[in-house]
Every structure is written in C-alpha cells, then in structure tokens.
Amino acid sequence: MLGDDDMIDEYLLQELVAFQQTGTLAATAHQLNVTQPTITRGMQKLENDLGVKLFKRYPNRIELTQTGQLAAIEANKLLNDSQLFVKKIRNFDLRQRNYRIGSSIPGPLLAMQNQEFSEPVSLETQLQQTDHISELLNNNEFSIIFSNQELQTDEIESLYVGTESLAVNIDKFMYQANQSTVTFKELRGLSFVVLGDIGPWRQVIQDEIPDATFMYQARQNAMKQLTTYSNFPYFTTNITNTDLANDETENDRIMIPISDSAAHMPIFANYLKTNKRSLRSLINEIRSILPN
C-alpha cells in the first residue's frame, strides 16, 4: 500500500479508465496496445497500491466495484488535469518566444497585417468565439484576444484600444450618395454583398436592417469580383475599407459613414492580469495603428 507521499503511476490510471470504457481486459489491452496479462498485473498493482478492492472477479470476467467505478471517474479527472497542465506549460513557454494574437472581430487582425512590431507576433486569422476568450487566455493559448466586449474577471482584464466604425459603399447614382452620412433605416430594402466572416458585425447589420437582403460570400476574391462587376452595395469600416474596397473611380461607389450608434464598435484588448506588464509596450503599439 502506498504511503501518504507516494504517487500512483499514470499508466495504471490509464488502464483503469480504459477498462471502464471497454468493459473487458481483452478490449482494454487492445485499446492500449499491450498484452492482456500486462493489464491484469496492472490492475492488481493498482489495487495493492490503493489498498482497496476495485474489481469483482468471476471465473471468466471481472467488473468494477462501486469503489472501482469512483476510482475510474477520479482517474479520468486526474489524467485530464495532467494533460491540461502540460498544455498550459507548453503554451506559456511558446508565448515567451512569440506573442500569439487572436480576435473575435476582424478589424484588429486586418489592421495588424503587414505591420512590424518590436516583439515577435503571430496572428490567428480565424475569429474566436467571444464566450471562449476566458478559457483561451487562461490556458495560455493566446497572449491577447481582441473583442467588442469588455472582460473583467479575477484573472483577466480589458483595455480599450480603439473603435471600428461601419460605412456603406453605394452606387453614386443612388439618392443616399449625396449625403455625408446615412442611417441604417435609410438602407432598408436594399440587397448587400457581405463577406461571410465578419464576427459580431453580422448580427449588427441583420438586427439594424431586418428587411434587407444579405448575400454572404465565403471568399474575399468572390466578394471583390461581385463588387467590381455589379452595383450591389457593400460594407466596409474605417479599418477594412482599403482591404475590401476597389478603386472608387472604377466601380462608381461612394463610401458613406453610417451614423447610428450601433455602427460604432469599441475594440478591447483582453489579456491575463499577470501578463499586463510584459504586454504593455505591444498593446501601445497596436493601439497606435487602430482608429479611435
């Protein structure tokens, strides 16, 4: 039997969990790619180490006791915690050598493209889910994640770094083209070409212009083709206008800012409080390239 300071070998816990999942020694051995006698010896050792009976033994089979069922559940938790420990440490080590930046909104990532920073930076171009930000930061998978929501927890804080503002690009012969600004209400009934992955902006335009038609395009090349060879209006922002728009003289579009408050989205940098000091310089650099 183990003393208070002794540890259970992890491979024994893996065997116990596999047995609970498969129900037989033969299937457990097959799943773990070892021999059945190896599993039998391992289960006996685990019982001896714990000093409890984990199995009911019958002539042609064994099954877990209630204590064994509990042991398997707790073993699975320990193995998952062990994997999470390794993941956190490896992610932390990687972050020391390269700041990984993510975002739930496209603007900050587009603004940072082709920019040079004083620290090594890698951008994750796939947008993150807002409700996953805390988990991703706590697991050290990202150094900073941008979003349109302010996060304040015991471990995480947010810093306002800028505002992304929506504009519409419309045919110069439309009556709205003579205005300095336009409202969502004035865009009702129109059909728009829209890039598919625009984060929370998608919900904004659908909520604010419920009687419009939105033709979502998965690829930016297809989006540019449609905006070049059709007169459908499309949206850009004070960050994305150079990325999505074509030459106005060629496509006869006029870009007009949308004045509604919902057309102005705050940008927050979310990060672990423990990393605030090391990230301060980088966040200031990013803030300098974002519109306010």
DSSP letter string, the chain: ---TT----HHHHHHHHHHHHH-SHHHHHHHHTS-HHHHHHHHHHHHHHHTS--EEE-SS-EEE-HHHHHHHHHHHHHHHHHHHHHHHHHHHHHHHH-EEEEESSHHHHHHHTT---SS-EEE--SPPPGGGHHHHHHTTS-SEEEESS----SSEEEEEEEEEEEEEEEETTSGGGGSS-B-SGGGTT-EEEEES--TTHHHHHHHH-TTSEEEEESSHHHHHHHHHHS---EEEETTTHHHH---HHHHTEEEEEB-SGGGEEEEEEEEEGGGHHHHHHHHHHHHHHS--
Mark whether 107 and 51 lie in a shared domain: no
> Binning pLDDT at 50, 70 and 90, where does residue 130 land?
very high
Mark whether 172 and 259 lie in a shared domain: yes
Q: What is the CATH number of the domain that holds 14?
A: 1.10.10.10
Which residue range is the domain that position 72 belongs to?
A: 10-81
Look at residue 86 and tell me if it is in a domain: no
> Binning pLDDT at 50, 70 and 90, where does residue 243 land?
very low
> Binning pLDDT at 50, 70 and 90, where does residue 248 land?
very low
Look at residue 284 and tell me if it is in a domain: yes
Q: Tell which of 38, 58, 81 closes a domain.
A: 81
Look at residue 36 and tell me if it is in a domain: yes
Q: Tell which of 48, 81, 114 closes a domain.
A: 81
Q: Note the residue count of the chain.
A: 292
3-state secondary structure 122-182: EECCCCCCHHHHHHHHHCCCCCEEEECCCCCCCCEEEEEEEEEEEEEEEECCCHHHHCCCE
Amino acid symbol at 116: E
Mark whether 69 and 104 lie in a shared domain: no
Q: What is the CATH number of the domain that holds 109?
A: 3.40.190.10
Mark whether 157 and 198 lie in a shared domain: no
Mark whether 129 and 184 lie in a shared domain: no
Instruction: Give the tens place of pLDDT for each residue, 102-118.
Output: 999 999 999 998 888 88
Mark whether 209 and 128 lie in a shared domain: no
Mark whether 21 and 141 lie in a shared domain: no
The whole-chain average pLDDT of the chain stands at 88
Say if residue 265's pLDDT is above 70. yes
Instruction: Give the tens place of pLDDT for each residue, 188-203.
Output: 999 999 988 899 999 9
Number of structural domains found in the chain: 3
Q: Does this model's pTM top 0.85? A: no
Mark whether 284 and 233 lie in a shared domain: no
Q: Considering the chain, what percentage of its residues have pLDDT values greater than 90? A: 58
Residue 125: CB atoms within 10 Å? 11
> Binning pLDDT at 50, 70 and 90, where does residue 277 land?
confident
> Binning pLDDT at 50, 70 and 90, where does residue 225 land?
confident
Mark whether 241 and 258 lie in a shared domain: yes
Mark whether 118 and 237 lie in a shared domain: no
Look at residue 2 and tell me if it is in a domain: no
Q: Tell which of 50, 81, 112 closes a domain.
A: 81
Look at residue 3 and tell me if it is in a domain: no
Mark whether 106 and 157 lie in a shared domain: yes
**Helices 10-22 and 25-32 sit at what angle, rounded to 10 degrees?**
120
Considering only residues 221 and 286, tell me which one the structure prediction assigns the higher pLDDT. Answer: 286
Say if residue 269's pLDDT is above 90. yes
Look at residue 53 and tell me if it is in a domain: yes
Distance of CA 69 to the CA centre of its chain: 35
CB of 67 closer than 8 Å to CB of 54: yes
Residue tagged 């289960």 (tokens): 43
Look at residue 132 and tell me if it is in a domain: yes
Pull the structure tokens for residue 74: 């707790």
Instruction: Give the tens place of pLDDT for each residue, 38-87.
Output: 999 999 999 998 989 999 988 888 899 999 999 999 999 998 888 888 87
Look at residue 110 and tell me if it is in a domain: yes
Mark whether 173 and 245 lie in a shared domain: yes
